[in-house]
């Protein structure tokens, strides 16, 4: 009988520990989702601030006078996270691989926006990418001002497995994004995708979303007449504080 009591007690303790681990994991996942959504929201607002300041869209790749690529859009929008905007304190005429950019590349920027792009586990890897290519928010040929984006346009997405350096001018085209989702689905991998709409709403979608359905929201023209309610069946999570 004594051994039975010990076994029962041991089982209860183990069950309690498992429950605590589950609760901790759920709380950590919720915190990560909320912080990611807030980061998306801050970035979208910074893009809008940049666009208003320069009266044009943000180019995905910043180039010099000769057209040579210097760095990603992620670098110049850092200073547009605040109002009023702080003065420029870092060079903007050097390529991201230049030795003189080492301090920026490692430690980021005085703005806390650096942590929007990167997390400790990924080092300096970009966690949020721009949707580029013809007809997309970051269409190099158009550079439409942010205020002209249709509300249903997906402007930013989560890293999609790229994980390039945050300064590197390397994002994802709509075609690449859709292909990566198709490949994950075909391989049976469970994937999730954060998307940031032009009106600052942030949704986490399941990777099982049909490519054709998501494609509608990646193009400026088709997004203008789209209804985002079509995506709701594929929502994994949305931050109610932002999605109001």
Mean pLDDT of the chain: 82
Strand segments (E) across 22-176: 61-63, 69-72, 128-132, 154-158, 172-173
Asked if residue 88 is part of any domain, the answer here is: yes
Asked if residue 51 is part of any domain, the answer here is: yes
Half-sphere exposure at residue 240, Cβ-oriented, CA atoms within 13 angstroms: 1
How do strand 192-197 and strand 202-206 relate by DSSP bridges?
A: antiparallel
- pTM (two decimals): 0.86
pLDDT digits 0-9 by tens, 187-220: 778 788 999 999 999 999 998 888 889 999 999 9
pLDDT at 152: 97
Token pair 């051994």 is at which residue? 3
Q: What is the three-class DSSP state of 125?
A: strand
pLDDT digits 0-9 by tens, 64-99: 999 999 999 988 888 787 655 666 677 889 999 998
Asked if residue 69 is part of any domain, the answer here is: yes
For the chain, the residue count is: 244
Number of domains in the chain: 1
pLDDT at 190: 79
Asked if residue 7 is part of any domain, the answer here is: no
Asked if residue 37 is part of any domain, the answer here is: yes
Asked if residue 55 is part of any domain, the answer here is: yes
- Domain span including residue 183: 32-238
- C-alpha span between 194 and 237 (Å, rounded): 9
- C-alpha span between 45 and 82 (Å, rounded): 10
Per-residue burial over 56-70, b = 16 or more CB atoms within 10 Å of its CB, e = otherwise = ebbbbbbeeeeeeeb
Higher pLDDT, 9 or 225: 225
Phi, psi of 4 (to 5 degrees): -65, -40
Asked if residue 25 is part of any domain, the answer here is: no
Asked if residue 243 is part of any domain, the answer here is: no
């Amino acid at each position: 009988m004594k051994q039975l009591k010990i076994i029962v007690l041991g089982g209860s303790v183990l069950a309690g520990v498992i429950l605590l681990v589950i609760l901790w994991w759920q709380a950590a996942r919720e915190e990560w989702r909320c912080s990611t959504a807030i980061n998306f929201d801050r970035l979208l607002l910074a893009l809008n601030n940049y666009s208003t300041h320069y009266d044009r869209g943000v180019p995905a790749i910043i180039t010099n006078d000769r057209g040579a690529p210097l760095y990603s859009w992620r670098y110049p929008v850092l200073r547009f996270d605040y109002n009023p905007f702080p003065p420029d304190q870092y060079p903007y005429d050097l390529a991201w691989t230049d030795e003189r950019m080492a301090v920026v590349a490692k430690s980021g920027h005085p703005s806390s926006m650096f942590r929007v792009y990167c997390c400790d586990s990924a080092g300096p890897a970009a966690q949020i990418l721009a949707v580029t290519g013809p007809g997309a928010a970051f269409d190099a040929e158009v550079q439409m001002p942010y205020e002209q984006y249709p509300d249903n346009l997906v402007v930013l997405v989560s890293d999609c497995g790229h994980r390039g350096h945050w300064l590197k001018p390397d994002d994802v085209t709509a075609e690449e994004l859709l292909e990566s989702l198709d490949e994950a689905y075909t391989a049976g991998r469970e994937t999730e995708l954060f998307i940031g709409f032009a009106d600052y709403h942030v949704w986490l979608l399941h990777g099982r979303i049909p490519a054709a359905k998501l494609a509608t929201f990646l193009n400026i023209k088709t997004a203008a007449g789209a209804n985002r309610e079509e995506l709701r069946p594929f929502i994994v999570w949305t931050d109610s504080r932002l999605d109001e």
